[in-house]
């Protein structure tokens, strides 16, 4: 099977021009088929502040009311998405920026929760793999903003990590998929304050031990649980590490590689 890279970049990379530039240079020079999933949460928060819209949080979770939905649609699918595409074009990487509504790429439903109304948040039902494959087959890199739709005209806000995972899983029937979560850290760290303490490889048995010893920063656990879910659903490899070391992450000379054996 042909290889496909599904790469998610974290918010801190998007905010800083130099880091984004450096990441996009590595992404542009990456050979083969590739999909970039981005968020832009900090820029969205900044715009909401500028407009004087208070952030609504329930139980620590951000609620997407209609104002917030408008803002994330503008920032993610507009500003961030189009600037990334223009920068990739400048680097000779032909790319197309889409949301989940475009080509019906990601169909979702508004989250139903017995206690919390998350607002316009979408849980993904279906990935239109043939549409994505059609673009990839034209040697176009896909830049995906985490805005989905419900098929009835409603846009929905969806977590970018989840978008990357669902796409990686769905496309693993067609491609040998490497799913890369890239952000500002060197990988999964044994000591959250020591960038040298990267755990180079994690498999189900070592993950069990690390959890037992409470050796991993709690915030990283859901990412790892998600990584194993992806591996159990056909994804070949999951890699976590620094966005600016993309090629090294892929070569296996940096970051944390999560495998299923």
Rounded to 5 degrees, φ, ψ at 248 are -65, -40
Tell me which of 22, 154, 206, 260 binds a second copy, using CB under 8 A. Answer: 154
- CA–CA gap between residue 39 and residue 188 (Å, rounded): 21
Size of interface with a second copy, in residues (CB under 8 A) = 39
**Alpha helices, DSSP H, located in the chain:** 11-15, 17-29, 41-51, 66-72, 81-90, 129-137, 160-171, 204-212, 221-232, 246-251
Q: Which of 187, 194, 177, 168 is nearest to 245 (CA)?
A: 187
Tell me which of 20, 155, 235, 238 binds a second copy, using CB under 8 A. Answer: 155
Please say whether the beta carbons of 231 and 259 come within 8 A. Answer: yes
Tell me which of 8, 33, 38, 149 binds a second copy, using CB under 8 A. Answer: 149
Compare residues 151 and 204 and give the one whose CB is closer to a second copy: 151
Compare residues 131 and 183 and give the one whose CB is closer to a second copy: 131
Which residues between 40 and 79 bind a second copy (CB under 8 A)? 50-51, 70, 73-79
Compare residues 14 and 77 and give the one whose CB is closer to a second copy: 77
Which residues between 75 and 134 bind a second copy (CB under 8 A)? 75-79, 81-83, 85-87, 89-90, 94-99, 101-104, 131, 134
At closest approach, how far in Å is the CB of 187 from a second copy? 29
* Binding mask of the shown chain, residues 173 to 212, with x at each position contacting a second copy by CB under 8 A: ----------------------------------------
Compare residues 78 and 234 and give the one whose CB is closer to a second copy: 78
Please say whether the beta carbons of 234 and 169 come within 8 A. Answer: yes
Element (H, E) at 132: helix 129-137
Q: Decide if residue 151 touches a second copy (CB under 8 A).
A: yes
Q: Which of 184, 173, 174, 161 is nearest to 238 (CA)?
A: 161
Q: Taking phi first (over 0 means left), then psi (-120 to 50 degrees means alpha), and beta for anything else, what does residue 96 get?
A: beta
Q: Which of 79, 86, 70, 87 is nearest to 40 (CA)?
A: 79
At closest approach, how far in Å is the CB of 26 from a second copy? 16
At closest approach, how far in Å is the CB of 99 from a second copy? 5
Q: Decide if residue 146 touches a second copy (CB under 8 A).
A: no
Please say whether the beta carbons of 116 and 59 come within 8 A. Answer: yes
Rounded to 10 degrees, what is the CA torsion of 235, 215, 240, 258?
-30
**Residues near a second copy (CB under 8 A):** 50-51, 70, 73-79, 81-83, 85-87, 89-90, 94-99, 101-104, 131, 134, 138, 140, 147, 149, 151-155
């Amino acid at each position: 099977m042909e290889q496909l890279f599904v790469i998610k970049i974290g918010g801190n990379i998007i905010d800083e021009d130099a880091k984004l530039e450096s990441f996009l240079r590595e992404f542009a020079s990456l050979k083969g088929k590739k999909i970039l999933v981005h968020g832009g949460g900090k820029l969205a928060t900044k715009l909401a502040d500028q407009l004087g819209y208070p952030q609504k949080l329930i139980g620590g979770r951000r609620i997407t009311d209609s104002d917030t939905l408008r803002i994330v649609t503008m920032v993610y699918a507009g500003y961030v998405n189009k600037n990334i595409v223009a920068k990739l074009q400048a680097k000779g990487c032909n790319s197309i920026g889409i949301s989940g509504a475009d080509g019906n790429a990601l169909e979702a439903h508004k989250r139903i929760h017995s206690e919390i109304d998350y607002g316009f948040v979408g849980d993904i039902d279906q990935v239109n793999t043939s549409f994505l494959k059609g673009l990839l087959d034209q040697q176009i890199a896909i830049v995906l903003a985490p805005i989905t739709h419900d098929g009835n005209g409603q846009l929905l806000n969806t977590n970018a990590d989840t978008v990357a995972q669902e796409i990686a899983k769905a496309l693993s029937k067609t491609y040998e998929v490497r799913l890369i979560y890239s952000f500002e850290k060197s990988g999964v760290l044994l000591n959250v304050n020591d960038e040298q303490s990267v755990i180079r490889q994690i498999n189900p048995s070592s993950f069990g031990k690390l959890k037992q010893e409470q050796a991993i920063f709690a915030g990283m656990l859901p990412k790892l649980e998600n990584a194993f879910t992806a591996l159990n659903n056909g994804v070949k490899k999951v890699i976590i590490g620094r966005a600016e070391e993309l090629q090294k992450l892929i070569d296996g000379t940096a970051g944390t590689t999560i495998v299923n054996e």
